[in-house]
Structure 1
Amino acid sequence: MSTILDIDHLNKTFDTPQGPVQALRSIKLQVKRGEFVTIIGPSGCGKSTLLKIIAGLDTAHNGQVLLENLQVDRPSIDKGFIFQEHRLFPWLTVEKNIAADLSIKQPEVRKKVDELVGIVRLQGFEKAYPRELSGGMSQRVAIARALLRNPKVLLLDEPFGALDAFTRSHMQEVLLDIWRQNQTTMILVTHDIDEAVYLANRVVIMDARPGTIRKIVPVDLPYPRKKSSTAFQEYRRLVLNEFERVEELELIDSSGI
């Protein structure tokens, strides 16, 4: 697979009343076309900041971020972004939310919307409004809306964080179905180690203060994966051990030892 995203020596500093705070330091990451990458780390390690920089939502940084060899310097339709909150238009139906600024009366848009409704498993809810949907259904609409633009990379910032455990598990399956069918490159930020291992080809583990990449763990398991399997638990323990080392370093840092 060819490289679609190339991040090199990325640094990000925020100016605060107490002085400059470095959020990201020397981030170096390459993502292959069609790959599923998850990013995990403690709160405040810069996971969401990194995602926003990749999306072109934050351009005040140093370093290189290339998408298909072009510098990322603004938001665009080739970078889909899914927030933790679905951000649907409450006055539009499911199908019109997916179409958004495109006219659903156009045959090609109508056809694509219908296809995506099937992919995200929302048949029968095309005419429903956001108030009539569950949290998981609303996130499926948001994902379909992003996919309608055929993004080169889909960025997901803890999209299932507010969902209950059952719905979250279901949404993981939906997302994997979408990934397999569309072969869209996906980068997902999560706090959930099981989710990170279950979904990803590679898990990126981050340190905090400032945010750096501690380790990248390739997950060499076939899909579909069983969370109860011995192989899955071995990968989970590997990621958990690294994550616990990050937290230990944070405690030492905060105690001044």
Structure 2
Amino acid sequence: MGDALLEIKELHKRFDTAKGSVQALHNVSLSVEEGEFVTVIGPSGCGKSTLLRIIAGLDSGYAGSVRLGGAEINGPGIDKGFIFQEHRLFPWLTVEKNIASDLPLGSKEVRRKVDALIELVRLKGFEKAYPRELSGGMAQRVSIARALLRNPKILLLDEPFGALDAFTRAHMQDVLLDIWRTNKTTMIFVTHDIDEAVFLAGRVVILKPRPGEIRKVIRVDLPYPRKKATQSFQDLRLKVLSEFESVEELQLTDGAGI
């Protein structure tokens, strides 16, 4: 493991709504090391997506400190890649042009990077295809390639596989791990799926119900590639599940919103 790339200290976030002020995050402190893969799970409404948006520089008005590479985050930038739940591709552009985005494909350097990313996300042969001609999993692979084009320091993924069927989701998990191992990109991945959280990550962060607060961080000391049917995987899954069920009990006891 390397030095801490992301440092979150005593993060608090409130939203003002028509019904009053809502505390979304409370006293969140977390360090993520360079090259680490971290998954975040917790009940709906616990602030997982809000946390990602703050790290991405897409949300402000919080108390506390969020630093990337030693510098305070004060807005979006090319050093932070963000993958949404839906692919958000430009329907009028081909795969290769979606990946290049606003950069010219006529540039030899851009073309080299786009071609390498197409190979990395397993889309060779689909360079000229349009989003309407792609499956959901293929479209998300284009989104991931686009986010990686400018070599971000960190890639933030907000339930990117949630809408996919089980087979495609498993395939996408393998693809993402290939990308992570190849590029050594630091990743933070939000999910509701416990199997997915354990399968992907070196650490699983479990958030309490609103206001979101870290209940537990569980290290996943399993070698890659991981097999979900093994006893060691199931043991860790049960450990995470036990903590998650305790969080859900807290939610019911406290009457927190979902």
1:13-162 equivalent positions in 2, closer than 5 A? 13-162=14-163
List gaps (5 residues or longer) in structure 2.
none
1:230 shift after superposition: 0.5
The alignment partner of 1:195 has SS state of helix
Q: Give the match for residue 206 of structure 1.
A: 207
Instruction: Give me the whole-angstrom Cα distance separating, in 2, the residues matched to 1:209 and 1:99.
Output: 39
- 1:142-173 CA deviation, whole Å, 9 max, x = no partner? 00000001000000000000000000000000
Moved over 6 A (4+): none
Q: Give the match for residue 193 of structure 1.
A: 194
Q: Give the match for residue 171 of structure 2.
A: 170
1:49 shift after superposition: 0.2
> How many residues in Structure 1 have an aligned counterpart in Structure 2?
255
Instruction: Give me the whole-angstrom Cα distance separating, in 2, the residues matched to 1:82 and 1:29.
Output: 21
1:46 shift after superposition: 0.2
Q: Is the 8 A contact 2:207 2:214 kept in 1?
A: yes
List gaps (5 residues or longer) in structure 1.
none
- 1:77-97 CA deviation, whole Å, 9 max, x = no partner? 100000010000000000000
Q: Give the match for residue 10 of structure 1.
A: 11
* Partner amino acid, structure 1, of 2:174: E
The alignment partner of 2:59 has SS state of coil
Give the TM-score of the pair, scaled to structure 1.
Answer: 0.98
The alignment partner of 1:156 has SS state of strand
Instruction: Give me the whole-angstrom Cα distance separating, in 2, the residues matched to 1:212 and 1:22.
Output: 10
Instruction: Give me the whole-angstrom Cα distance separating, in 2, the residues matched to 1:80 and 1:149.
Output: 9
Instruction: Give me the whole-angstrom Cα distance separating, in 1, the residues matched to 2:148 and 2:69.
Output: 18
Instruction: Give me the whole-angstrom Cα distance separating, in 1, the residues matched to 2:210 and 2:25.
Output: 8
- 1:114-153 CA deviation, whole Å, 9 max, x = no partner? 0000000000000000000000000000000000010000
Q: Give the match for residue 225 of structure 1.
A: 226
1:209 shift after superposition: 2.0
Instruction: Give me the whole-angstrom Cα distance separating, in 1, the residues matched to 2:253 and 2:140.
Output: 38
The alignment partner of 1:59 has SS state of coil
* Partner amino acid, structure 2, of 1:212: E
1:18 shift after superposition: 1.6
The alignment partner of 1:8 has SS state of strand
* Partner amino acid, structure 2, of 1:124: G
- 1:37-73 CA deviation, whole Å, 9 max, x = no partner? 0000000000000000000000110100000110001
Q: Is the 8 A contact 2:209 2:250 kept in 1?
A: no
The alignment partner of 2:255 has SS state of helix
Instruction: Give me the whole-angstrom Cα distance separating, in 2, the residues matched to 1:105 and 1:16.
Output: 48
Q: CA RMSD in A?
A: 0.7
- 1:193-223 CA deviation, whole Å, 9 max, x = no partner? 0000000000000001210000000000000
The alignment partner of 1:225 has SS state of coil
1:246 shift after superposition: 0.5
